[in-house]
Structure 1
Amino acid sequence: MKVSVVLCVYSMERYDDFREAAESVLTQTYADVELVVVVDGTEAVYERVRDDYGENNRVATHCNDENMGLLESRNMGAELADGEVVAFIDDDAVADERWIEELVQGYEEQDALAVGGKMTPRWVAGKPDFLPEEFYWLVGVTHRGFADGPGYVRNTFGSNLSFRRDVFLDLGGFDTDIGGRKGDKNLQGGETELCARLADEYGEQVWYNPNAEVEHKVFDYRTDAMWLLNRAFWQGYSKRAMEVLLPETSGEESEFLKRLLVDFTPNRIKKLLTSPSLSQGKQLLFLWLFTACVGFGYLYGFTVYSA
C-alpha cells in the first residue's frame, strides 16, 4: 500500500521547519512513501524546494499560480498524489519514524476509510506552567480526555490525518470555504467538516491510533496567555458556527464539557489540596478562564450564526 504524504509550505521564514518535516517523512520505517510538496504560490520557496528535492524520485513538487490557502493546497496535493492513501502533515510538525507504519495498520487491520493519530507537543519556547493538558488543543496538540485508546473518533488534527485517496477525492476534499463563510476568516474546522461528510456519506468515522505520533512545534507566541485566551474565544465562536453548518458535529464538545465538570475539575481540586503548588493553582485557574472564553465565543457566535 503506497502512502502519499502532502506537505504544504508558503513562507521562506518557515523553510527550515519545512525541511525538518520533509525529512521526517522521507526517513519513515515504512518503505512505500511518496512526499508531495505543494508550495502555495511563492516562487522563491518553490525554487528552493526544487533545488533540494528535484532529483529525489520519492518527491513530487508543485507550485500554485497564486496563494490559495492551506485547504486548497492540500486538495491539490491529493490530486497529484500516486498513493492509495493520502496523509497530511504541516510544515511546523515532525513525524515519528513509525508514523506511516502505524497509520497503515489502521487500513490493513481495521479496513478503515480514514486514519489519524496523536499530536504531541514540542515546546520550542518552553512549556507554560499555566496551560492545562485539557486545553492542549488550543496549540494543536491532542488534549487530555480526547480518547482512551485506539478507536473511532469524529476527527483528528489535520496535521495527522489520512484517507483512502479514492474516498478523499470522492468527497471532494476539504471545503475551501470553511475558513471564509460569510466573509469570516476566524472560522476553523476544515478537517471537522470533511470528516463529518465522511460519516454522512460513508457511515464511518476516523480510526484513531495513538501510536501514530506527530510532534507539533509550539512556538513562543502560542504560549502567550493573551494569545491563548483570544484563541479560546474564537474557537468557541467557530464551534457555534460548525454546530449550525453541521449539527451532528457537536457531540464531542458536549462530552468534553461534561468531563470537564464532573471529572477533570474535581480531580484537579483534589490534587491541589493534597499536593499544593503554584503551577497546579495556575492550571486550575486557566482551566476555567479558557472555558469561559470558549463560552463567550460560543455565545457571540449566536449573534452571527443562527440555526
Structure 2
Amino acid sequence: MRVSVVLCTYTLEEYDHFREAANSVLAQTHEDVELVVVVDGYEDVYDVVADDYGDHPDVQVHCNDENEGLLVSRNRGAEYATGDVVAFIDADAVAAPDWAAELVASYEAHDAIAVGGKMTPRWVAGKPAFLPAEFYWLVGVTHRGFADGEGEVRNTFGSNISFRAEVFGELGGFDPEIGGRKGEKNLQGGETELCARMREEYGEGVWYNPDAVVEHKVFDYRTDPRWLADRAFWQGYSKRAMETILPETGGEEGDFLKHLVTDATPAHARDVVRQPSFASVAQFVMLYVFTALVGAGYLYGTVDYSA
C-alpha cells in the first residue's frame, strides 16, 4: 500500500522545523512512502525546498500561485498524490519511524476508510505546570480521556490523519471555509467537518491507532495562558459552528464533558489532597477555567449563528 504524505509550508522562518518534519517522513520504515510538499504561494520558499528535495525520487514539490491557506494547500497536495492513502502532517511535527507502517496496518486489519494516530507533545519551551492533561488538545496534542485504546473515533488531529485516496477525493477534501481567522473570529476544525461528512456519506469514522505516533512541537507562545484562553474560547465557538453546519458532530464533546465530571475532577481533587503543590492546585482550577472559556465560546457561537 502506497502512502502519500502531504506537508505544507509557507515561510523560511521555520524552515528547520519543516526539514525535520520532511526528513521524518522520508525516514519511515514502510517502504512505499511519497512526500508531497506544497508551498503556499511563496517562490523564495519554493526555491529553497526544491533545492533541498526536488531531486529526491520520493518527493514532489509544488507551489501555489498565491497564498491560499492550509486547507486549500492540503487539498492540492492530495490532488498531486499518487498513493492509495493520503496522509497529512504539519511542519511543526515529527513522525515516528513506524508511523506510516502503523497506519497501513490499521487499513489492512480493519478495512478502514480513514486512519489517524496519537499526537504526543515536545515541550519546546517547557511543560506548563498549570495545564491539565485533559486540555492538551488546546496545543494540538492527544488529551487524557480522548479514547479508550484503539477503535473508531469521529476524527483525530489534522497533523496525524489519513484517508483512502478515493474516499478523500469523493468527499471533495477539506472545506477551505473551515479554518483560520476571519475578522475577529477564529473558526477551527477542518478535519472535524470533513470527518463528519465522511460519516454521513460512508457511515464510518476514523480508525484510531495510538501506536501511529506523531510528535507535536509546543512552542513558547502556545504555553502562554492568554493564548490558551483565546484558543479555548474559539474552540468552543468552532464546536457550535460545526453543530450548525453538521448537526451530528457533537457526540464526542458530550463524552468529554462527562469524562471531566466523572473521572477528571475526582482524579485532580485526589492529587490536590495527596500531593498539594502549585501544579496540582493550578491544574484543578484551570480544568474549570478552560471549561468555562469553551462554554463561553459555545454560547457566543449559539447567539452568532442564530442571529
1:106 counterpart letter in structure 2: S
Cα separation, 1, equivalents of 2:168 and 2:55: 29
Equivalent runs, 1:1-307 vs 2, <5 Å: 1-179=1-179, 185-306=185-306
Deviation at residue 267 of structure 1 after TM alignment: 1.5
Q: What displacement does 1:14 show?
A: 1.2
Larger CA deviation: 260-269 vs 80-89: 260-269
- Deviation, 1:181, is 10
For 2:66 and 2:184, the matched residues in 1 are separated by: 21
Q: Structure 1 pair 33/205, CA: closer, same or farther in 2 (3 Å)?
A: same
CA deviations 1:183-215 (Å, max 9, x no partner) are 775111100000011100011110000000000
Please give the root-mean-square deviation of Cα atoms over the aligned residues, in Å.
1.3
Per-residue CA deviations over 1:141-181 (Å, capped at 9, x if unaligned) read 00000001000000000000000001100100001111379
1:26 partner letter: L
Contact persistence 1:113–1:206 (CA under 8 A): yes
Q: Secondary structure at the match of 1:12?
A: coil
Give the letter for the 2:159 counterpart.
Answer: S
Aligned equivalents of 1:165 and 1:185: distance in 2? 32
Larger CA deviation: 234-243 vs 212-221: 234-243
**Mapped contact 2:155–2:195 kept (Cα < 8 A):** yes
Q: Is the 8 A contact 1:244 1:306 kept in 2?
A: no
Q: CA deviation at 1:247?
A: 0.9
- The answer on whether the counterparts of 2:4 and 2:87 sit within 8 Å (CA) in structure 1 is yes
For residues 159 and 103 of structure 1, the distance between their equivalents in structure 2, rounded to whole angstroms, comes to: 13
User: Does the CA contact (< 8 Å) of 2:42 and 2:66 recur in 1?
Assistant: yes
Instruction: Report the Cα distance in structure 2 between the residues aligned to 1:212 and 1:102, rounded to whole angstroms.
Output: 5
TM-score relative to the length of structure 1: 0.98
1:22-49 CA-partner distances (Å, limit 9, x unpaired): 0000001111000000000010000001
**Matched AA of 1:138:** L
Deviations 1:91-125 (A, max 9, x none): 00000001000000111100100000000000000
| Matched residue type, 1:252 | E
Alpha-carbon distance in structure 1 between the residues aligned to 2:230 and 2:66: 30
Tell me which amino acid in the other structure corresponds to 1:75.
N
**C-alpha contact (below 8 Å) 2:3/2:33 kept by paired residues:** yes
Sequence identity (%): 70
Q: Alignment partner of 1:158: what SS?
A: coil
- CA deviations on 1:203-252 (whole Å, 9 max, x unpaired) are 11100000000000000000001110111111111111111111100000
Aligned length: 307
Aligned letter for 2:119?
A: M
CA distance in 2 between counterparts of 1:263 and 1:223 reads 25
Q: Is the 8 A contact 1:199 1:205 kept in 2?
A: yes
Distance 1:124 1:58 in 2: 30
5+ residue gaps, structure 1: none
- Check whether the contact 1:18–1:92 (CA below 8 A) recurs between aligned residues: yes
Query: For 1:37 and 1:55, how far apart are their aligned partners in 2?
Result: 13
- Secondary structure of the residue aligned to 2:107 is helix
Kindly state the Cα deviation for residue 261 of structure 1 after the two structures are TM-superposed: 1.1
**Counterpart amino acid of 1:142?**
T
